[in-house]
Amino acid sequence: MNANELAAAMQQAGLLEDPMPPAAERWIATFLEAFGARYATAEDAVREVELLRAESAVIPALELERLRNRQVVFFLDAVAQYVDAQAELRDLPLAGDIPAIADEFGIAHDDAFAAVRMALTGRKDGPPLELLFPLLGHERVTIRVGAVSSRLLHGRGLEPIAHGPGGVPFQTIQPQKPPDA
């Protein structure tokens, strides 16, 4: 699959104007860098494009429960504020910035990256966040994070479930106490 095939499939699906605006060329190039190896045909890739263009992501219930923690909600809100403050979402130094934000809330770095990915895509894995952020754009990142916060705060609140599948005790992402200096 190449950029022209993807653009044609997106236009056929009503996801891209014809003629294609110049900004769409950069978006398609980023999409191919992020997802190109996963899809054999442009038609298969269009479903992923539709998911990226949606205002929110569907998060599995148990994964949403992992995020049900005050520090995680505050952390995700801080990530949304960070994104909102950026002029451009390409080439952000997320490998350093996400952990720095996580440290403010006592969130382990692996948990922080997992929480951001889950809030943005509803998935545990995917392309690097450095590619995902520009694909989603400022508005979708902030809307998706806001939707997660809303589901957590206006649903059952921040009280997590006691047990997961099979009666196993369930635990949310837990903040860590900072090491003594």
Lowest mean pLDDT among 4-13, 64-73, 134-143: 64-73
Residue 180 has pLDDT above 60, yes or no: no
Residue 59 pLDDT greater than 80, yes or no: yes
pLDDT in tens, 78-133: 999 999 999 999 999 999 999 999 999 999 999 999 999 999 999 999 999 999 99
In a domain, 175, yes or no: no
Q: Can you give the CATH number for the domain in which 155 is found?
A: 1.10.10.350
Query: What is the C-alpha to C-alpha distance for residues 123 and 24, in angstroms, rounded to an integer?
Result: 25
Q: Do 72 and 44 share a domain, yes or no?
A: no
118 and 74 co-located in one domain: yes
121 and 82 assigned to the same domain? yes
Q: Has residue 179 got a pLDDT over 80?
A: no
Provide mean pLDDT across the span 136-147: 94
Q: Is residue 181 part of a domain?
A: no
30 occurs within a structural domain: yes
Show the CA angle centred on residue 101, arms to residues 108 and 170, nearest 5°.
35
The answer on 13 and 75 residing in a single domain is no
C-beta separation of 75 from 102 below 8 A: yes
Domain count, the chain: 2
Q: Are 11 and 45 in contact (CB under 8 A)?
A: no
Residue 178 in domain: no
Containing domain of residue 43, as a range? 3-53
pTM for this model (two decimals): 0.86
